Structure 1
Amino acid sequence: MTSRFKLGLLTSSLLVAAGSFAAPAMAQDQSDESAASDNQAIVVTGSRIARTDLSSTSPTAVVTAEEFLLSGATNVEQVLNTLPQVLPGVTSFSNNPGNGAATLNLRNLGAQRTLVLVNGRRWMFYDTNQIVDLNTIPQFLLEGVDVVTGGQSAVYGSDAIAGVVNFRLRQNIDGIILGGNYSLTGKGDGARYDVNFAIGTPFADGRGQVTIYGNYLRRESIFQGARAYSRFAAGDGCVRAGTTDRATGVGVSLGGALGTCVARGGEIGLVPGGSASTPIATLPGVGGGNGLIFNPTGGGTRPFLNPEDLYNFAPDNYLQLPQERYLFGGYGNFQITDGIEAYAEVSYVNSKVNQELAPTPGGIAASLQINSPFFNAGTQAALAAAATPADLALGRSTQNVGFRFNQSGPRNSSQGRSAFRIMTGLRGEIVSNINYDLYYMYSRTENTQFQQGNVSVSRYRATLETETVGGVTRCRDAAARAAGCVPLNVFGQGLADPAALRYVTINSTNLETSDLQNIVGSISGTLGSIFGNSEPIGFAVGGEYRRVSASYTPDTFLASGDVIGFNAGQPTGGNYNAKEVFAELRIPLVNESFIHRLELTGAARYSDYSLDNVGGVWTYAGGGEFAPIQDITFRGQYQRAVRAPNVQDLFGGQSVGFPQAIDPCSSRTPVALQTAAIRALCVANGVPAGNVFTTAVQPNQQIQAQFGGNPNLGEETSDTFTIGAVIRPSFIPRLNITVDYFNIKVKDTISTFGGGLNSALQLCFTVAQDLTNPICSIFAGQRNPTTGALGETSGGRNPPVLSANIAKLATSGVDIQVDYNIPLNFSLTGSDESRLTFFFLGTYLDEYRTTAVAAIPERVTIGEGTIALPKWRHTARLGYVDGPAQISLRWRYNGPGIDSRIINTFNGLVRTEQDPALFPNRRVGAFNYFDLTGSFAVTDNFQLTAGVNNLFNKTPVVLGTAQEQGNNVPGFYDPLGRDFFVSARLNF
């Protein structure tokens, strides 16, 4: 089927199936009328206490199943990432960085601080960071998703710092449901195929219910080269005036410093970027200037031209990752006796996601044979001129060689993830209005990562270091020759011997596993009322046991560090457990007397962790609701929450690294910073007085240090305060308005110590200037007593730049939601029912702050928000329902932003604003996306839905490679352009 025919089919389907939704697609604290009918008690996310209405002291947004249908979503991330409370985490567009998963990042506080539940219970996580992969959740079975803001640790335990997202699956299915979805971009690529089924039936005269389900999903890839904005690697530069291409955003480079660009007649913009590692070898240290690049035919060289000779790596990267997923499961319940009901859930997922990067760049230092037959006379003379006397005496020249292994093909990482979860429990009524619930859950995830395109550093060097004996050029190292080493001719276009390429390239396999065991028992019910209220006091008490274990076993090749291509890794593994008790109370004080309602809520949990530095911790919450009249309710809550360190934080494999850094005590420190105060600090830190600000302290650009997890970590702690109002005016039926202010502060946040070695050095010596400050602790006793140098290779010790409880996070803002539907007194289809529906959800971001070292003051300027963190963001939907026909229009708005580098440039970690004039696209305007959807109930059992997302084909602004990837932030801005979908659902 051709792409043109596919587009025609989709367009025809859209016209045939006019569509929308029958109710607001999302609702925040729905009205009491939509709660449980006949006063049936239900449990609302954020509480374990059953109640007869859906009110809550915590701000809660509800995404209905209808929204997933109207959005054409095949994965839950596609809808949740459009909510203003959510910033995209890892998505289907996360190629580098990425890991084949889809994660949820509530309030931009990190996926590890967002607790994900399914049916109110913990779900399986996929890695050593203990994060849930949204690919494992059957979105086609969703009844709704509850997004609760703020720390919920008192109710649910660790990790609920930013909030809780609870996915509620449909229950009591009776019959067969068949569904399918097909999606295609406006360019005819990136197709997505999704088919699913669910079969449910009661049994044993209605005492039992069972549901089984299955799903198959296939998503095709799109490369960055398929879109104009991501086709070129673009970087900041001085652009020749009037040369910027409107489609790509890239202009002709004028060269020179940005600070003098305008004075030279240029303009700040984006210029062709790329990598100096090219498919033809370069010698950056030979010949002066930018060095030399070899001729395509080999042997000879010419000066390397920047940017003309840079390699454009962008087209080889995925923009949309391909995926294939199988998902099966089931759940059911059986009433054993009047007071005992057994229930169970089981789920299995197998998902394969590929990542693809440009061929491996190989820049290493090698001792080259000057008279190699790979070089002509001119090149040999240049190498000889650049050689040291010692090398020249041996006929060698040690030089950096740049090269990209295009002949070996791209780097590919295949993530094959299998996961299963089983949960079983008993529940029932002990006595009237007192219920119990006890369940056990076990889940396991295994991820096998197969990587192609890695190159061994040692083997690569051996193939470059040659000698000629008896007229035959061979690898100089005898042991390497015995292992199959063949000289590698990278000094031209496509000249490499296939045998040499096979020798240096190595495929690797990494294995990651994670296990979660959870036992929870609770008793809940009512205790009677006080002050003559009709509403009784509600309570819940219980206990929980949770055991977490995870491991990462890298290929022995990657663990050795002898690798370029993909990152080296160290083994990680560990486990811990927590024993917890909890209690929750809801006390109605006044109900329908002189005021409409007044109630207080409280919750507390004590957790005893097997981790020595966490031990026993308390979390708690307190809040209330006050409704002076039925039309308006005020609510507020304070919550203390914790996050225990995860396996990666604690047991992440430690390794020695050699990052580029500047020791402020060395000659590499700018002269302006070579002050008496810093000199005194250096001497106090162990640098001999005569060596301060000399090369003896730092002979190389790199400084050796220790990196990885830290078993001595403690817990993170957060304080959340929310206050708001729910307005349901009786004089405007069916109108609901909520306004909520949130303020979340996280302290003792776990992050890499000081933000990295170089940042820690600058913070200690140029910002804090106090060796008793925590940031300076990693440098105590680490220096060579003779030279003052850091690192074992320089005779000192390696500073431990490990994970630490040293940072802090804070965010605050306001959520606003409006739900309204209006019955109409006319119909275009002759039906008995028609109405307009309206939904609006927006977030105003007052402040968002990150501080890598809490002990050092900071100055924060948000401006109008960073590019992916705007001050204002909203989603809205307007719909028209007319009997079997529905149509809706969704409006997604991302407010204007500022290039984050302007406000996130640090002198140490004290934020300073850069000159905005030196940044292209420094102000990114607002983005408006419109999505049109239609649906038609052909019969009572058969429904067709079709739609187009990004109706007006809004394409991203080219922001350059300094952003996340693809010259943009593809999880935040729509990266694909116009996108069509058609779906069908059959019930019988």
Structure 2
Amino acid sequence: MIINKKKASLLAGTVIFGSLIASPAMAQEEPTIQPAAAEDDMIIVTGSRIQRRNTETAAPVAVVDSAEFELSGTVNIENVVNALPQVVPGITSFSNNPGNGTASLNLRGLGSTRTMLLVNGRRWMFYDTNQTVDLNTIPQFLLESVDVVTGGASAVYGSDALAGVVNFRLRDLDGAEFGGQYSITDRGDGDRYQIHGAIGTDFADGRGNVTVFGEYYNRQDIFQGDREFSAFALGGSPLQQLGSSLPPQTRLTYLGDGDTTGTAFDTNGLGIFGTPGSLRAYSTPGDLYNFAPVNYLQLPQERYLLGGYGSYEVTDALEFYGEVTYVNNRVDSVLAATPILVNTQLDYNELLSNGFIDQATRNQFASLDATETGADMNDGFVPVQVRRRLLEAGGRANLDERNAFRVLAGARGDITDYLQYDTYYMYSRTRNSNIQQGNASTSRFTAAINGTGDTQVNIFGENTLTPDMVDVFRIQAQNGDISDLQVASAVVSGTFGDFALGAAEPIGFAVGGEYREVNSRFIPDEFLASGDVQGFNAGQPTQGGYNVNEVFAEINIPFETESGMRFELSGAGRYSDYSLSNVGGVWTYAGGVEFAPIPDITFRGQYQRAVRAPNVGELFQGSAIGFPGANDPCASNAARGGGSLNAICNANGVSDAIYASDTAFANIQPDPQIAAFFGGNPNLAEETSDSWTVGVVLQPTAVPGLTITADYFDITVDDAIITISLQTALDLCYNTVQDLNAPQCAGFVGTRGPDGGFSRTNAPRLGGANVASLETSGIDLEVSYGINLPFSVIGNDFADLNLSFLGTWTELNSLAPDQTDPTDVITCAGEFGLECGEPTASFKWTSRASYVDGPLTFSTRWRHLSAVDDDDPTSDYFVERIGAYDLIDLTMAYDFNDLVTLTVGVRNLFDTLPSTPEFDANGVVTNDTNSLLLGDFNNGEQSNTYPSTYDVLGRDFFASVLFRF
């Protein structure tokens, strides 16, 4: 933030209302050099703590002006920042499964935990054990700008800034603003409305200012069934209508060794109660359950946000300032009814006497029982695996309600004419209440179907469970999260008096220290902690924290010749002492250079060494079960009939007898998601990164109003902490190492069930480790141009045309799961899929053209993503490529006077959506898949696409009004 007494507006010369989605952090004119004691125009630019009179830095800084939020009709910050080409979308309002009701920012695709988020140059509150900031807690309507700094910045800001820093600047008010916005899709759903207000005032002859604000925001839900492209769960090759193998009619897998001849199991070992009480053979895909329609496409949200900030200058040597924010955020997610899977034995005579099965079904069970061997023969029981969708228990509803507050108090002022100090203390706390409806107790359900409980329930057909039966096993589960952050910081900055080199500004510096303490807890209830739950994922408690003491320093040395040639050197260093024994004391540092041979052109470059300490979740997370999408190598033709893959699968419990079955692959992996346990690792050390940026800034005097910047970036993260994806772990063990005794296979030993597959009780175990390497590189290009037009549509003498372009070419985005093996690298630039997740387009840009004619602004925005390919070269999926993607938005704003502004617009003007799949009589998709914008169901994506990357709302209208007093 700007810390001079007069609160000079940062970047005022570089940003024109309505013109830029991002403007370079550069002054449009050469700054005037003034005496060292004249501090009125001193500012602090994101990426440095040194006050300066110009916005030039060695590190590239892209600035998103507040006008972009107004012109795009955006209330939630995620919708603007995710459009930036430097960003790969993280969790968003379209993240239902997985999702947690938050919105995160993932800079350069290196992960949200490696992106540092600041507000007014200081750390913001986080919400969970991964120490991730929820963008929903930042007041969008008070933003002055959003600054995006590329590359590691740990030397300036500390841990977490490996990919870069995003700083949200809030503005002071002198007056009052009240406004609201309403949005609705072309289909008449997904309503969103916001009401906000802020009052600010200067007092004591301008020596003080106080701003207070409040907001209410409400977003209505949209279900996947409300859009034709997401109404069916698609999968397979050819791509077709599929779904889940846990149907509401109940599917049985026979687990005994009896003769299946003449029974429903004789076809494929599977049976289903298509008619209540009557067992028949199970068929695919006809008996799969389509879970898609009842899942959210857009999550509902309700948010209350209150806060204020202010400052008061007692004397030149003492100015007090403070900030306070409170947020209540409620977000629901809804999934299809609980799919439950248990292995048990059924007493078929008791089931017949209770009327749950008919005589023919009882006879089938008796036939199996009579041909079993040993003690199981004629014991009155049949061993089965039960798979059922508990529709009668209702959908799985997950309510996250987060209450967060942050308070900050500080003091700053002048020490001498050349020195200033700034010190503050900040405390933030977030508490999340997570209430889950629709879960089932595994033990209660098992006892209720096999007759060992007090009440037996009827699962043998669709809609056979009465409300009283459901109450036997249905449970409500609750989790809690508590996270807090404390920061105490002090810095002294200034110059070495009037000492300057040549005609340049004085040498600037900053030195300081910081104490930071992090604590976080995850508190599950008894069902979640014990694992006796199906529906939402079980997880054990997590609790931990750490603190760090830091000292840091920066220096900036400018040179300038009489001819106007400018040369500037900068450097920064930080020493951090962590209470974590495996981290201890670490150094981070940075060095940069700028060279301007003439005022029209500036060359710049920077190197940064950054670190990230492991977060609480990575260190101390209790074991939790998840269901990631993956392909089991043992469920493939390559695993049959000898060979090294067959040998390791045999050793791991997939026998050749299992492979001899015609339904072997369906039994080994019946669903695209596989159960796995994930947990923390207290022995983790820090990650390190090396970042290089080299660029040029062009501001030709022959073309006033034109600025062009181009910067090459290269970021490498070593010792990266990853819990490698289940797919990567499977590939490393079964396809690469192929030795069950190797460390890479430790998580798979003893984890397969009798059918050769993984389940909730026989699941792989995965944990984090400092084993990976991440790398990304590419070029950012920014162009902005503003020109006065000698005509006006509404009768003024002239108008303005402002053009901007911000684009990124991603040359490389890669993950080496084992950084010691250079042959095993997952490349993600221009790809999507199981390993890479969200599409990382090689070319991504956003551009805007604005025509400003007095009180009228007409603006259009163009967003583009290049085509992406599936990231798995070993498999031929039906959707191997998602085509290039373009969206056009239109906005018109009118200032009726200085008091009222009306803005209306439409996003996604041409209603660009994933195309509606067309099906033949067998449910097979017949469209040209390159036009679908679909992610193959085998890749485990939701809504048949990537809803955080590709628009799923369609044409979307908005209108807003702002009153100023």
The TM tier, using the shorter chain, reads: 0.7 to 0.9
Task: Provide, for residues 32-63 of structure 1, a one-character-per-residue CA deviation record: whole Å limited to 9, x for no partner.
Answer: 44989987110000000111111111111100
Are residues 322 and 799 of structure 1, via their aligned partners in 2, closer, same or farther at CA, if it must alter by over 3 Å?
closer
Residues 1:430 and 2:415 aligned together: yes
Distance 1:871 1:331 in 2: 41
Contact 1:125 1:445 in 2 (8 A): yes
Structure 2 residue aligned with 1:583:
553
Structure 2 residue aligned with 1:967:
944
SS in 2 for 1:93: coil
Q: Give 1:407 shift.
A: 1.0
Instruction: Tell me the amino acid that sits aligned with residue 598 of structure 1.
Output: F
The alignment of Structure 1 onto Structure 2 pairs a total of residues equal to 884
Contact 2:90 2:948 in 1 (8 A): yes
**Equivalent position to 1:503, from 457, 472, 475:** 472
**Which runs of 5 or more structure 1 residues have no equivalent in the other structure?**
1-19, 239-269, 467-476, 903-912
Structure 2 residue aligned with 1:304:
282
Matches within 5 A, 1:744-893: 744-752=715-723, 755-756=725-726, 760=729, 763=732, 767-768=736-737, 775=744, 801-856=766-821, 857-859=823-825, 864-866=830-832, 868-893=839-864
Contact 2:422 2:490 in 1 (8 A): yes
Q: Give 1:809 shift.
A: 0.7
Structure 1 residue aligned with 2:403:
418
Contact 1:32 1:54 in 2 (8 A): no
Q: Give 1:668 shift.
A: 11
SS in 2 for 1:229: helix
Distance 1:27 1:217 in 2: 29
Task: Provide, for residues 467-489 of structure 1, a one-character-per-residue CA deviation record: whole Å limited to 9, x for no partner.
Answer: xxxxxxxxxx2xx31xxxx2211
Q: Give 1:232 shift.
A: 0.4
SS in 1 for 2:527: helix
Contact 1:517 1:546 in 2 (8 A): yes
Distance 2:713 2:343 in 1: 54
Structure 1 residue aligned with 2:700:
729
Structure 2 residue aligned with 1:226:
226
Structure 2 residue aligned with 1:324:
302
Distance 1:706 1:966 in 2: 25
Residues 1:572 and 2:568 aligned together: no
SS in 1 for 2:126: coil
Are residues 232 and 701 of structure 1, via their aligned partners in 2, closer, same or farther at CA, if it must alter by over 3 Å?
closer
Residues 1:384 and 2:340 aligned together: no
Distance 1:302 1:806 in 2: 50
Q: Give 1:738 shift.
A: 0.4
Instruction: Tell me the amino acid that sits aligned with residue 351 of structure 1.
Output: N
Q: Give 1:307 shift.
A: 1.1
Contact 1:21 1:887 in 2 (8 A): no
Structure 2 residue aligned with 1:200:
200
Task: Provide, for residues 389-444 of structure 1, a one-character-per-residue CA deviation record: whole Å limited to 9, x for no partner.
Answer: 43443211111122111111100000000000000000000000210000000000
Instruction: Tell me the amino acid that sits aligned with residue 542 of structure 1.
Output: G
Distance 2:633 2:828 in 1: 31
Contact 2:143 2:171 in 1 (8 A): yes
SS in 2 for 1:82: coil
Task: Provide, for residues 838-857 of structure 1, a one-character-per-residue CA deviation record: whole Å limited to 9, x for no partner.
Answer: 01000001011012221223
Distance 1:953 1:694 in 2: 52
Distance 2:32 2:196 in 1: 29
Structure 2 residue aligned with 1:450:
435
Residues 1:614 and 2:599 aligned together: no
Deviation larger for 38-47 or 95-104: 38-47
**Equivalent position to 1:977, from 942, 945, 954:** 954
Deviation larger for 303-312 or 107-116: 303-312
Q: Kindly report the root-mean-square deviation, in angstroms, between the aligned alpha carbons of the 2 structures.
A: 3.3
Residues 1:533 and 2:503 aligned together: yes
Contact 1:832 1:883 in 2 (8 A): no
Distance 2:76 2:83 in 1: 13
Q: Give 1:801 shift.
A: 3.8
Matches within 5 A, 1:40-189: 40-171=41-172, 173-189=173-189
Are residues 713 and 881 of structure 1, via their aligned partners in 2, closer, same or farther at CA, if it must alter by over 3 Å?
same
Structure 2 residue aligned with 1:28:
24
Distance 2:66 2:627 in 1: 50
Distance 1:580 1:805 in 2: 23
Q: Give 1:298 shift.
A: 1.6
Structure 2 residue aligned with 1:545:
515
Task: Provide, for residues 165-214 of structure 1, a one-character-per-residue CA deviation record: whole Å limited to 9, x for no partner.
Answer: 0000012x111100100000000000001010000112233322111000
Instruction: Tell me the amino acid that sits aligned with residue 307 of structure 2.
Output: G
SS in 2 for 1:187: coil
Are residues 692 and 443 of structure 1, via their aligned partners in 2, closer, same or farther at CA, if it must alter by over 3 Å?
closer
Are residues 234 and 509 of structure 1, via their aligned partners in 2, closer, same or farther at CA, if it must alter by over 3 Å?
same
Distance 1:407 1:656 in 2: 25
Task: Provide, for residues 649-675 of structure 1, a one-character-per-residue CA deviation record: whole Å limited to 9, x for no partner.
Answer: 0111136999999899xx996555449
Structure 1 residue aligned with 2:890:
932
Task: Provide, for residues 729-780 of structure 1, a one-character-per-residue CA deviation record: whole Å limited to 9, x for no partner.
Answer: 010001000000000100111112x545x8557636763579998747889x
Contact 1:445 1:514 in 2 (8 A): yes
Are residues 407 and 862 of structure 1, via their aligned partners in 2, closer, same or farther at CA, if it must alter by over 3 Å?
closer
Contact 2:401 2:433 in 1 (8 A): yes
Residues 1:914 and 2:866 aligned together: no
Instruction: Tell me the amino acid that sits aligned with residue 57 of structure 1.
Output: A
Distance 2:795 2:33 in 1: 30
Are residues 521 and 99 of structure 1, via their aligned partners in 2, closer, same or farther at CA, if it must alter by over 3 Å?
same
SS in 2 for 1:402: strand
Task: Provide, for residues 128-177 of structure 1, a one-character-per-residue CA deviation record: whole Å limited to 9, x for no partner.
Answer: 00000000000000000001110000000000000000000012x11110
**Equivalent position to 1:352, from 315, 327, 330:** 330
Contact 1:937 1:943 in 2 (8 A): yes
Q: Give 1:960 shift.
A: 3.7
Structure 2 residue aligned with 1:896:
867
Distance 2:858 2:804 in 1: 14
SS in 2 for 1:986: strand
SS in 1 for 2:388: coil
Instruction: Tell me the amino acid that sits aligned with residue 914 of structure 1.
Output: T
SS in 2 for 1:86: coil
Are residues 80 and 352 of structure 1, via their aligned partners in 2, closer, same or farther at CA, if it must alter by over 3 Å?
same
Q: Give 1:305 shift.
A: 2.2
Instruction: Tell me the amino acid that sits aligned with residue 281 of structure 1.
Output: T
Contact 1:292 1:301 in 2 (8 A): no
Structure 2 residue aligned with 1:396:
381
Q: Give 1:798 shift.
A: 11
SS in 2 for 1:531: strand
Structure 1 residue aligned with 2:714:
743
Q: Normalising to structure 1: TM-score of the pair? A: 0.85
Contact 1:384 1:392 in 2 (8 A): no
Q: Give 1:237 shift.
A: 2.1
**Equivalent position to 1:643, from 597, 600, 612:** 612
Structure 1 residue aligned with 2:347:
369
Contact 1:317 1:358 in 2 (8 A): yes
Q: Give 1:531 shift.
A: 3.4
Structure 2 residue aligned with 1:215:
215
Are residues 775 and 412 of structure 1, via their aligned partners in 2, closer, same or farther at CA, if it must alter by over 3 Å?
same
Distance 1:232 1:36 in 2: 63
Contact 2:332 2:399 in 1 (8 A): yes
Contact 1:181 1:193 in 2 (8 A): yes
Are residues 382 and 716 of structure 1, via their aligned partners in 2, closer, same or farther at CA, if it must alter by over 3 Å?
same
